[in-house]
Amino acid sequence: MIIHQNCRFFKGDVPCVYHKKEKVECGDCQYYDPIKEKVLIIKLGAAGDVIRTTPILRKLKAEYPAAHITWLTWSPELVPADWVDEIYPFDLKHILTLQSSSFDLLLNLDKDKEACALTNQISAKVKKGFLLNDFNRCVPANKDSEQKFFTGIFDSANKANTKSYPEEIFEMCGYRFNGEKYILDNFSGVYPDWNIPENKPLIGLNTGCGGRWTSRLWSEENWIGLARTLKSKGKGVLILGGPDEHEKNLRIAKKSGATYLGHFPLKQFINLVNQCNLVVTAVTMAMHIVIGLEKKLVLFNNIFNRHEFEMYGLGEILEPAIECDCYFSPKCPNNCMEHIYVETVIDACERLLKE
């Protein structure tokens, strides 16, 4: 009996999809799709980082059209299933599987110790990205990953960097970045019409920034003022956020007259963002969702290197009107975000909506 164990559709423990659908067997199967290379991507998180790593799939598919690609992550729902053969959640079951697997190319794009340790253990002909050394510290796996390593350990190197994150990731993998876009499903076929009671264009205001870097927070009063002014100019305004912002968003909506529909599971939140024409946000997962959906974007930034954000011509970056030394600081002693003014944000929104 002929068995094509190198076929993309072969399961090994259960029948393949075409055997179940059409009763074909390996010896006479017209769907036989031999795998030529095996590629593993380790990009665990954060969620926004997973989204902004997806452009590398476009390059890998071009370089290795017959490859079998596996992606290990904390955010499997954000990995595009049409581009990846197997999406592995980071759990014991899949870690054990990978420890007994071999690959032609392993790309570990995370510096987390668990990602680096696993990279050490998995067999691969070529490893790029990061490994774990004898001191249990992250080290570059290849020369092309050295610059990304330096920008992570020295603020001086980070401040001097002029490359976007996708450009850095491509460089680590030995490629040149040519504007390859994010890959993100808008889940339009999953959720019904939202029937948002607002005018068009619809502007989303994402009011949170996560719990780690609260130095990025813009005041509640500013969000209220922005929402009121946009609505007075005939724009629709939708307040966005997660469970951490729920109470704040209720207050903003009540005081401004904007619409707030609540917080939702990730896929539904992505679909909600897809209803917007433009979104105002700090550097968060929502920013990467907006870019992935190719919506207009007004981005607040105060603690990061502005060059790391690949905007694809979709928006503007607004920074405080004062100099501040809160670079990569969880808290800002100067409250510099208050020097991003409501009027400045309004002007940016109107410019982008005219394009």
First to last CA, the chain: 62
Q: What is the pLDDT of residue 69?
A: 99
Distance CA 289, CA 285 (A): 6
Measured on CA atoms in the order 61, 120, 130, 74, is the torsion positive or negative? positive
**Backbone φ, ψ for residue 37 (5° rounding):** -135, 155
Q: Say whether pLDDT at 212 is over 80.
A: no
What mean pLDDT comes out for the span 44-54? 95
Q: Say whether pLDDT at 323 is over 70.
A: yes
Which residues fall within 8 angstroms of residue 231, CB to CB, at 6 or more apart?
A: 237, 256, 257, 258
- 34: DSSP letter: B
Asked if residues 222 and 301 have their Cβ atoms less than 8 Å apart, the reply is no
More confident: 90 or 331: 90
Q: What is the pLDDT of residue 5?
A: 96
What mean pLDDT comes out for the span 84-97? 98
This prediction has a pTM of 0.95
pLDDT digits (tens, 9 = 90+) for 217-247: 999 999 999 999 999 999 999 999 999 999 9
Asked if residues 206 and 288 have their Cβ atoms less than 8 Å apart, the reply is no
Task: Give me 60's structure tokens.
Answer: 């890998």
Asked if residues 272 and 202 have their Cβ atoms less than 8 Å apart, the reply is no
Bridge-based pairing state of the strands 202-206 and 138-140:
unpaired
Query: Scanning the structure block, which residue is given the tokens 């005081």?
Result: 255
Residue ranges and CATH numbers for the domains of the chain are 35-172 (3.40.50.720), 202-354 (3.40.50.2000)
Q: How many Cβ atoms are within 10 Å of 162's Cβ, its own excluded? A: 9
